[in-house]
Amino acid sequence: MLSTNDASILQGFHTLVTKSPLIMEKIEIIGQMAKTDSSVLILGESGVGKEIFAEQIHLRSLRRNAPFIRVNCAALPEGLLESELFGHVKGAFTSAVSDRQGRFELADEGTIFLDEIGDLPLTLQAKLLRVIQEKTFEKVGSGTTIAVNVRIVTATNKDIEALVDQGTFRNDLYYRLNVLPLHIPPLRQRPEDIPELAHFFLSKFMQENNKQFQGFTTGALEAMLSYSWPGNIRELENCVERACVISKNKWIQQEALFPKSGKGGEPESGDRNLKTALNVFKANFIRGVLEENNWNQTETAKALGIQRTYLSRLIKELNIDYSKSIIEE
């Protein structure tokens, strides 16, 4: 996702960059979600931009002029995270030399975004559940009850239902958080966004590095479209930043985006023409949808909006390895 600092409390909002019909649909859904105060659980792979969509929920809501507070639940140990969320009073622990407001108190009347919610310790899950149910909490070391009016948006890249089954995440909390689920598709499923994001990041890093480029070469664009981007938008951003730093030509070339390290970007055959690049992209895209549908061809064909017979033909033509988890319908 776009650069952000999880440690800061109040920040400027990120720019949402998209041309993908899939994301346009999500924006419409967000518009409906924003009208309510119900909890939202944002799901998606690491790097897809879940924080940006949390921001959009807040910005389209009636709470838009109130605080939007971010917390990364995986960034702090349990003891510090409790103080970060709920605050503490002077003397609550050794380093508590003064009273401190927690993030929930700072978010009063606004929205709190709890990223990496799957990493929230069980002991804090009970306290979070109370905030949702009763809209009250106590600071660490205090018996005074504080009332808050906060909209809760959470996000995770983990299989949270599996965590519930394993007993590491409370099922009652899960149901409270998952009132309005929002799944963000990975970058490989929204190819229209790749050039848009690449140019957005190039403009950003040209300014930061005081450099000027004309854009990306055709080969560079083909390589980006043919790559599966397992790290999603965050990986794309890093690649463009690196290319902007090391490039000396007027145009960003493929080699600057994907240095010769045996990783990504290059069609396996070494052929750099557009047809080959598109075929590599199609293979990666179809493979990703097959995986999401447990390799069920009928369900995958429905998701892709094509006939199953055509999907079977594409699997053969694109040499997609279908030996892993074949499900016969």
173 and 27 in a single domain? The answer is: yes
217 and 94 in a single domain? The answer is: no
pLDDT value for 329: 39
Does some domain include residue 159? yes
Structure tokens at 296: 């069920």
Q: Which helix (H) or strand (E) holds 257?
A: helix 254-257
Structure tokens at 232: 């999603």
Q: Degrees (nearest 5) of the Cα angle 234, 10, 114?
A: 60
140 and 192 in a single domain? The answer is: no
- Give the CATH number, domain containing residue 130: 3.40.50.300
Domain boundary (153, 185, 217) is at: 185
Does some domain include residue 10? no
pLDDT value for 321: 65
Nearest to 329 by CA among 306, 305, 312, 304: 312
Does some domain include residue 2? no
pLDDT value for 180: 97
Does some domain include residue 70? yes
Does some domain include residue 240? yes
pLDDT value for 65: 95
42 and 170 in a single domain? The answer is: yes
- For residue 195, the enclosing domain spans 188-317
Name the phi and psi angles at 168, rounded to 5. Answer: -95, -5
Does some domain include residue 273? yes
- Cβ atoms of 124 and 77 closer than 8 Å: no
User: pLDDT below 70 — which residues of the chain?
Assistant: 1-11, 261-278, 321-329
Residue 35 DSSP SS3: coil
150 and 46 in a single domain? The answer is: yes
pTM: 0.76
Number of domains in the chain: 2
28 and 173 in a single domain? The answer is: yes
74 and 135 in a single domain? The answer is: yes
pLDDT value for 18: 95
- Give the CATH number, domain containing residue 199: 1.10.8.60
26 and 172 in a single domain? The answer is: yes
- Cβ atoms of 109 and 117 closer than 8 Å: no
146 and 50 in a single domain? The answer is: yes
Domain boundary (138, 164, 185) is at: 185
Q: Which helix (H) or strand (E) holds 72?
A: strand 68-72
Which neighbouring-strand residues pair with 182?
42
pLDDT value for 311: 84
Domain boundary (185, 202, 231) is at: 185
146 and 162 in a single domain? The answer is: yes
Does some domain include residue 326? no
61 and 159 in a single domain? The answer is: yes
62 and 159 in a single domain? The answer is: yes
